[in-house]
Amino acid sequence: MTKTYLDKVYETDPEDLTGLYDAWAGGYDSELADNGYATPARVAAALAGRAPDRTAPLLDWGCGTGMGGAALAREGFTTLDGCDLSEGMLAEARAKGVYRTLWQLAVDAPLPFVLADFPLVTAIGVISTGAAPPALLTEIAEGLAPGALLALSFNDHTLDDPAYTGTLARTFSDGLLAKRHEDYGDHLPGQGLKSMVYVLEKL
């Protein structure tokens, strides 16, 4: 049986992931939609329930093809910026027309924006197995301004990995972040996967 990109992503070495996402970009939305991808809408709704101002600048970290940005726009967020490592994914995001600015990130290069300028940040399916390492959560948490909200998701694979859950727990014990919302529900029903959605506040 031919493997889909959803099959391949968890088997790919981290240094090869950007190339995989570049190759996947054109078919990413349809493959995830075919599997009932529910997490972007869940994250957007959770953040909308906590955000004091939906016109405030929001950074969609690891925006991919912009499925998260589209879900955020549907919830009334109006000032969306995004960033990603994959130019192929960014091209798809650009075509959706929901982002003010899109940045391509480079590994080990300085960020092209100031994270503290964003009172709202999302990382939808980004800090997870098959994507970014757990250290990214600490990096984002340290860069946020006090009071900023971070909405993210951990799928079942990630919830089973103590490197990710341990890093999240340390952001709480170290006084970086506090949990404001937590909800376990559908992620990719077609794959039998669920995810935990969090809204966290920078202390």
Quote the percentage of the chain above a pLDDT of 70.
Answer: 90
Confidence of residue 8 (pLDDT cuts 50, 70, 90): low
Adjacent-strand bridge partners of 103: 83
Question: For 76-93, what is each residue's pLDDT tens digit?
Answer: 999 999 999 999 999 999
Tally the C-alpha atoms within 13 A of residue 195's C-alpha that lie toward its C-beta: 27
Q: Rounded to 5 degrees, what angle do the CA atoms 177, 167, 202 make?
A: 10
Question: For 160-174, what is each residue's pLDDT tens digit?
Answer: 999 999 999 999 999
pLDDT higher than threshold 90 for residue 33: no
Alpha helices for 62-196 (secondary structure H): 67-74, 87-96, 135-143, 156-159, 162-173
pLDDT higher than threshold 90 for residue 121: yes
Residue the block writes with tokens 């948490």: 141
pLDDT higher than threshold 80 for residue 14: no
> What does pTM read for this prediction?
0.91
Confidence of residue 155 (pLDDT cuts 50, 70, 90): very high
- In this structure, what token pair is assigned to residue 118? 């964003």
Tally the C-alpha atoms within 13 A of residue 178's C-alpha that lie toward its C-beta: 8
CB 92 within 8 A of CB 19: no
- In this structure, what token pair is assigned to residue 25? 């970009």
Confidence of residue 1 (pLDDT cuts 50, 70, 90): very low
Residue the block writes with tokens 């959803």: 6
Q: Average pLDDT of 187-191?
A: 94
Tally the C-alpha atoms within 13 A of residue 90's C-alpha that lie toward its C-beta: 16
Q: Average pLDDT of 114-135?
A: 95
- Average predicted confidence (pLDDT) for the chain: 92
CB 93 within 8 A of CB 119: no
pLDDT higher than threshold 60 for residue 100: yes
146 contacts: CB under 8 Å, gap ≥ 6: 202, 203
